[in-house]
Amino acid sequence: AQSVSQHNHHVILSEAASLELGCNYSYGGTVNLFWYVQYPGQHLQLLLKYFSGDPLVKGIKGFEAEFIKSKFSFNLRKPSVQWSDTAEYFCAVFSPGGFQKLVFGTGTRLLVSP
C-alpha cells in the first residue's frame, strides 16, 4: 500500500536557522505532492504543491520543496525560519492514475524559538 514517511517528528530551531523537513513516499507511479501546514489552533492550509514541470517548487512564506523522483522524496526547505513558522507540517501524496486519495504523512512539529 502507498505510504508517506516523515522521519522528523519534532524539530526545534532558533530563529534564522535553516530548515529541511524530510518526506518520502512509496508509490512508483505518477504522483502529485503536497505540503500542508497547520498553525496552532488552526486548520490545514496548503503550503505548496507539485504536479508537473520544474521539480523545485516555491510556496508561500518563503518555503520551497524539491521533488527528487529517483529518491521518492519531496523535502521541504526554508533558508531562514521565523518564530511564526511554529506549526505542524504534513506531507501528502496523491496519485491521479492510481489510488485517487490523498495519503498523509504523520506530520512534523516545528518549534521555532525567538
| Residue numbers at the binding site for another protein (CB under 8 A) | 6, 9, 32, 34, 36, 42-46, 49, 51-52, 90, 94, 96, 100-102, 104-107
Q: How far apart are the C-alpha atoms of 96 and 8, rounded to whole Å?
A: 27
Sequence letter at residue 16:
A
Q: Toward another protein, which CB reaches closer, 72 or 104?
A: 104
Q: Toward another protein, which CB reaches closer, 18 or 106?
A: 106
Question: CA torsion sign, 58 to 113 to 36 to 11?
Answer: positive
Q: How far apart are the C-alpha atoms of 38 and 107, rounded to whole Å?
A: 10
Closest distance to another protein from the beta carbon of 34 (Å) = 7
Strand partners of residue 94: 32
Q: Toward another protein, which CB reaches closer, 5 or 17?
A: 5
Closest distance to another protein from the beta carbon of 81 (Å) = 22
